[in-house]
Amino acid sequence: METFKLTVNGQVKEVTADPGTPLLWVLREDLKMTGTKYGCGIAACGACTVHLGGVPTRSCVVPVALVRNRPILTIEAMADDPVGRVVQDVWVSEDVVQCGYCQSGQIMSAVALLKSTPKPTDKDIEESMGGNLCRCGTYVRIRQAIKTSARQLG
Amino acid sequence: MSTATTSHPPSVSRRTFLRVSSAAAGGLLVSLYLDWPTIAQQPATPKVYPPDAFVHVRPDGKIVVQVNRLEFGQGVQTALPMLLADEMDADWLQVIAELAPAGDVYRDPVYGIQMVGGSGSIAHSFEQYRQLGARTRAMLIAAAAAQWKVTPTQCRAESSVVYGPNGQSARYAELAEAAAHLPVPENIQLKKESDLRLTNKEVRRLDSGAKCNGSQKFGLDVDLPGMKVALVAHPPVFGAKVKGFDANAARAISGVQEVFEIPLVRGTGVAIVADRFWAAKQARDRLRAEWDTASVERPDTAQLFAKYRELARTPGNVAVSRANANAMDSISPANRILAEYEFPYLAHTPMEPLNTTVRFDGDRAEVWGGSQFQTVDRMAIAEVLGLKPEQVTFHTEMAGGGFGRRATPDSHVQREAATVAKRLRGIPVKLIWTREDDVQGGYYRPMHVHRVEVGIGGDGMPAAWRHVIVGQSILAGTPFAPMMVKNGVDSTAVEGTADTKYNIPNFHISAHHPAINVPVLWWRSVGHTHNAFVMETLIDELARRAKADPIAYRLKLLSPDAKKLRNCLALLQGKTASWRSLPRNHAVGIACHESFETGVACAVEVSIEDKRPRIHRATITVDPGFAVNPLTIASQMQGGVTFGITQVMSRGAITLKDGRVEQRNWDGYTPPYMKDAPVIAQVHIVPSSEKPSGCGEPPVPVISPAVVNALSRLTGKRYRTLPLTEI
Ligand code: FES
Ligand code: FES
């Protein structure tokens, strides 16, 4: 067990955990931030996506010890993020979600995409969103919602 | 849709009870619930009203509606409150939907247990929720009328306010207490279609906001003081038992509390209880267990297919035999098609891994979980804990998908959770199935072999059809068997073939159900997954042989009473009229299928990219009767076809070798990602006033045959073996 200082959504948090514990479980169980989801644990679904130092990252395969001083942004901070807020609003107005379980990860990936590529093409969308699984099959609406968000942010 | 009080099975007696109670936060709650058949046998006026209710008019104006079944993406948590609020003339913006706990009043009015399945949520509760809304409204109006000394007919209601003839008005919240003391009206008039304000309109989901900002809690997010996490090491072969285990390394992990052997529905396992998931996971990885795999059958996919192919050469138990079973013999071999199909096991892999949280307190227990089968799961947990079902409080949690996987007749996950909780008495335990447990844990869509011989008549239409289906019975050994297994034929294995809407004169369907040591289960649209694939690829092949347009051919072959499919195909024809000129190397594939009383037709434009089908667009037409929420129906169609694509993914198969499942996670068993789904998916709903039918499952069966029909047009090949490893 070791103690780590993490900057999560702008706040410094201290956690004591086994250094190998994936960031996902530290967020969910130690910090009680359950918006970040567990789907596979092997970086195959994107449900656990957070921004680590600004980069969309699968938190299920990042040991907490490797986070170091990189800031962490989770879905819980998206309402206060200028891009995140637009994406969330569009997601709601276009009725994207079904079960919703994958959507934290989808939104985190979409926000990262729109920050790096404000006018994404279909190909950009497929590449950036390509690892985010949605078992309910909301892909058509996600694709559309990203385009709408890009327009609104434009 | 009928406008007066609508029909219900005549045997069903309904009474309405009312309950008034004080809210914890002060003020009065009016609770109304309808008495459905399951409690109709009880005394007419029970002394103690069940604490369950469907609608609360709160003093603050909020209207809380209890949803009698699980929400796991299908949108019922929005649709049922819509129906109620519409009849009640409630202010939609004040409506709060809650998932009802397990309780008798929340049983499905048709199935008689509390469940989600068979695409029955709207079909079965449409009437129920409308009636509830209408009765509540009538009572609120009666209360206002009494107050104003006018007759109810002089009053009208709108957006949670009652208006009187002389300019009076009162909010529902103000009337709730008085309304609670009034008798519940026996006969009420439901609205005419033209008076509906929410129903049949595109209404956005109530749960989107919470699901987009991370605040929605799912079963896996349940967190209770002192809670522990449990994982179970399951046998590597279904049903195997633990021979012995060395838990020293596992116990050495910090945070691990207990490691012990537990009985499972199949075989035994080793439970690990820890403070945190990661500790439990590491401990399980380090556990050294030995299993007795010698005394259980060790299925092997290759051997099973060989056996199934052999069985398919002999007729099975007869499901349908229409006209002359030997008509085939009079058709020359040149005019026959012999087709053999193979379908693998498929896992559901809902996005939220399976889980259940249980706290056992000796004489009662509390449970939290997403369940499609609350009645069954609650009974199973009670049985494990030695309690009566009433002693088990079962909270229905929002679930991250399910697709049938949260409706297990044997409640195996819930039993595991209860078994562990029993030992930990007083401590809440969240039992989690990791994704690996889920992929390897069985309860799959059964693998199948179909062998079909089609004799083609002089007009190019099928004149004789002989079809043998081989696959495990899903229902055998479950409480549903007496109802749904007839003459040794499991109705879920032949659905979509035996009851085909195509008019084929000499038609013979039979089935074999070998018993195999692999647990199987309904997978969204159940038997239609493979039956529609066989029917729709063969019909397409016949249309091509006849040089006919695939839609026109289907319309010609459909029986005259296949109204819904005819509507869907006609609409599809119109909507795809402009698809004539396609880019080179693109082709269109068509399929249609009726299931759960809903007709769906689908056209896809496909090319081959990187040796995989690329679906440039899909147009889906659906006839679900009266469309309660067109926005949700469109979502279900788009999502359902994407789910159906699982079948044609290159790694869309669960296989076994020497009894062990060869895939572990989504890297080996790979469902569709964005690039595998249609780029565009347009949905058109056939306008209808017929009673509503389900929309969750019906889109699933059409997509894979449509895609494969397009591929056949591109390559000239026939695809009869799934998954589609090669094109
Ligand atoms: S849980 Fe991290 S990618 Fe699936
Ligand atoms: S909305 Fe259910 S998995 Fe994406």
Interface-testing mutation among B82, B202, B207, B211, with chain A (most A C-beta atoms within 10 A): B211
**Residue-level pLDDT at B579:** 94
**Residue-level pLDDT at B58:** 86
pLDDT tens digits, B607-639:
999 999 999 999 999 999 999 999 999 999 999
- Across the interface, of B254, B282, B643, the residue whose CB is closest to A1 is B254
| A97: enclosing H helix or E strand | none
Per-residue pLDDT band for B109 (boundaries 50, 70, 90) equals confident
**Is the confidence at residue B32, as pLDDT, over 80?**
no
| B367: enclosing H helix or E strand | strand B365-369
> Measured between alpha carbons, how far is A130 from B401 in angstroms, rounded to an integer?
20
Arithmetic mean of pLDDT, B486-508? 97
Q: Which of 150-209 (B) contact A at CB < 8 A?
A: 204-205, 207-209
For tokens 């002999």, name the residue.
B314
Q: Is B221's Cβ below 8 Å from some Cβ in A?
A: yes
| Amino acid type, B49 | Y
**Residue-level pLDDT at B110:** 85
* List of E strands, B572-646: 587-595, 598-609, 612-623
Task: Work out the number of other CB atoms within 10 angstroms of the CB of residue B139.
Answer: 28
pLDDT tens digits, B657-677:
999 999 999 999 999 999 999
Q: Is the minimum distance from the CB of A63 to ligand 2 under 6 angstroms?
A: no
> Measured between alpha carbons, how far is A54 from A56 in angstroms, rounded to an integer?
7
Nearest-Cα distance to chain A for B697, in Å, is 12
Q: The tokens of B633 are what?
A: 């129906």
pLDDT tens digits, B140-194:
999 999 999 999 999 999 999 999 999 999 999 999 888 888 877 878 899 999 9
> Measured between alpha carbons, how far is B40 from B54 in angstroms, rounded to an integer?
17
Cα–Cα separations (whole angstroms), residue B421 to B185, B242, B386, B411, B669: 46, 20, 12, 15, 32
pLDDT tens digits, B259-315:
999 999 999 999 999 999 999 999 999 999 999 999 999 999 999 999 999 999 999
pLDDT tens digits, B194-220:
999 999 999 999 999 999 999 999 999
Arithmetic mean of pLDDT, A53-62? 98
Q: The tokens of B130 are what?
A: 């409308």
> Measured between alpha carbons, how far is B604 from B591 in angstroms, rounded to an integer?
9
Q: In terms of CATH architecture, what is B16-213?
A: 2-Layer Sandwich (3.30)
Q: In terms of CATH architecture, what is B314-346+444-715?
A: 2-Layer Sandwich (3.30)
Nearest to B296 by CA among B227, B232, B243, B360: B243
The DSSP code for B115 is: -
User: A88 and B671: CB-CB below 8 Å?
Assistant: no
> Do you know the residue count of chain B?
727
Per-residue pLDDT band for B380 (boundaries 50, 70, 90) equals very high
pLDDT tens digits, B539-589:
999 999 999 999 999 999 999 999 999 999 999 999 999 998 999 999 999
**Residue-level pLDDT at A98:** 98
List, as one string, the DSSP characters of B547-604.
T--HHHHHHHHB-TT-HHHHHHHHHHHHHTGGGSS--TT-EEEEEEEEETTEEEEEEE
CA A44 – ligand 1 centroid, Å: 6
| Pair B404, B394: CB distance under 8 Å | no
Q: Which fold has domain A2-76?
A: Ubiquitin-like (UB roll) (3.10.20)
Per-residue pLDDT band for B59 (boundaries 50, 70, 90) equals confident
Using most ligand atoms within 8 A of CB, pick from B351, B398, B636 the residue to mutate for ligand 2.
Answer: B351
CATH class as words, domain B219-294+354-432: alpha beta
CA B214 – ligand 2 centroid, Å: 13
Average pLDDT score, chain B: 92
| Pair A107, B214: CB distance under 8 Å | no
| Pair B37, B43: CB distance under 8 Å | no
> Measured between alpha carbons, how far is B365 from B521 in angstroms, rounded to an integer?
28
pLDDT tens digits, A69-105:
999 999 999 999 999 999 999 999 999 999 999 999 9
Arithmetic mean of pLDDT, B123-132? 91
| Amino acid type, A136 | C
**Residue-level pLDDT at B71:** 97
User: Which atom of ligand 1 lies at the shortest distance from residue A43's CA?
Assistant: 3
Ligand closest to the CA atom of residue A22: 1
The DSSP code for B446 is: P
> Measured between alpha carbons, how far is A118 from A149 in angstroms, rounded to an integer?
9
To 5 degrees, how large is the angle CA B44–CA B49–CA B54? 105
> Measured between alpha carbons, how far is B46 from B160 in angstroms, rounded to an integer?
30
Using most ligand atoms within 8 A of CB, pick from A25, A28, A40 the residue to mutate for ligand 1.
Answer: A40
User: Which atom of ligand 2 lies at the shortest distance from residue B211's CA?
Assistant: 1
Alpha helices in B149-228 (DSSP H): 172-180, 208-212
Closest residue in chain A to residue B697, using alpha carbons only: A136
Q: Is B667's Cβ below 8 Å from some Cβ in A?
A: yes
User: B223 and A34: CB-CB below 8 Å?
Assistant: yes
List, as one string, the DSSP characters of B387-440.
--GGGEEEEEPB-S--TTTT--TT-HHHHHHHHHHHHTTTS-EEEE--HHHHHH
Task: Work out the number of other CB atoms within 10 angstroms of the CB of residue A107.
Answer: 29
Residue B519, helix vs strand vs coil: coil
| B342: enclosing H helix or E strand | strand B336-343
CATH 1.10.150.120 residue ranges for chain A: 78-153
**Is the confidence at residue B111, as pLDDT, over 50?**
yes
**Is the confidence at residue B12, as pLDDT, over 70?**
no
**Is the confidence at residue A11, as pLDDT, over 50?**
yes
* Sign, CA torsion B136/B137/B142/B147: positive
Q: Strands B336-343 and B660-661, how do they pair?
A: unpaired
| Amino acid type, B148 | W
Nearest to B648 by CA among B618, B678, B695, B612: B612
Q: Strands B612-623 and B680-685, how do they pair?
A: parallel
How many angstroms separate the first and last alpha carbons of chain B?
46
| B32: enclosing H helix or E strand | strand B28-35
**Residue-level pLDDT at B41:** 35
> Measured between alpha carbons, how far is B213 from A20 in angstroms, rounded to an integer?
28
CATH 3.30.365.10 residue ranges for chain B: 16-213, 219-294+354-432, 314-346+444-715
Q: Is the minimum distance from the CB of B75 to ligand 2 under 6 angstroms?
A: no
**Is the confidence at residue B497, as pLDDT, over 70?**
yes
**Residue-level pLDDT at B44:** 36
> Measured between alpha carbons, how far is A145 from B73 in angstroms, rounded to an integer?
18
Find the range with the poorest average confidence among A64-73, A103-112, A135-144, B41-50: B41-50
Residues B337-357 as b/e (b if ≥16 CB within 10 A, e otherwise) read: eebbbbbbbbbbbbbbbbbbb
**Residue-level pLDDT at B31:** 52
**Is the confidence at residue B49, as pLDDT, over 60?**
no
**Is the confidence at residue B8, as pLDDT, over 60?**
no
CA A59 – ligand 1 centroid, Å: 7
Residue B596, helix vs strand vs coil: coil
CA B424 – ligand 2 centroid, Å: 34
**Residue-level pLDDT at B52:** 35
Percent of chain B with pLDDT over 90: 86
> Measured between alpha carbons, how far is A90 from B269 in angstroms, rounded to an integer?
46
Ligand closest to the CA atom of residue B220: 1
Percent of chain B with pLDDT over 70: 93
**Residue-level pLDDT at B184:** 77
User: B212 and A130: CB-CB below 8 Å?
Assistant: no
User: B665 and A25: CB-CB below 8 Å?
Assistant: no
For tokens 């918006």, name the residue.
A35
Per-residue pLDDT band for A112 (boundaries 50, 70, 90) equals very high
For tokens 């709060």, name the residue.
B96
* List of E strands, B60-104: 63-67, 95-99
**Is the confidence at residue B230, as pLDDT, over 90?**
yes
| Pair A105, A45: CB distance under 8 Å | yes
Arithmetic mean of pLDDT, B59-78? 95
CA B607 – ligand 1 centroid, Å: 31
- Show Cβ contacts of residue B332 under 8 Å, excluding neighbours closer than 6 positions: none
- As a whole number of Å, the CA-based R_g of chain A is 15
Omega cis (within 30) before B723: yes
Interface-testing mutation among B76, B116, B208, B220, with chain A (most A C-beta atoms within 10 A): B208
CATH 3.10.20.30 residue ranges for chain A: 2-76
Q: Strands B161-163 and B156-158, how do they pair?
A: antiparallel
> Measured between alpha carbons, how far is B283 from B263 in angstroms, rounded to an integer?
19
CATH class as words, domain A78-153: mainly alpha
Interface-testing mutation among B212, B525, B620, B665, with chain A (most A C-beta atoms within 10 A): B212
Q: Which of 279-308 (B) contact A at CB < 8 A?
A: 279, 282
| Pair B702, B641: CB distance under 8 Å | yes
| Pair B397, B366: CB distance under 8 Å | no
| Amino acid type, B131 | Q
Q: The tokens of B218 are what?
A: 């799912």
Nearest to B219 by CA among B75, B402, B382, B361: B402
What number of C-beta contacts closer than 8 Å exist between A and B?
A: 187
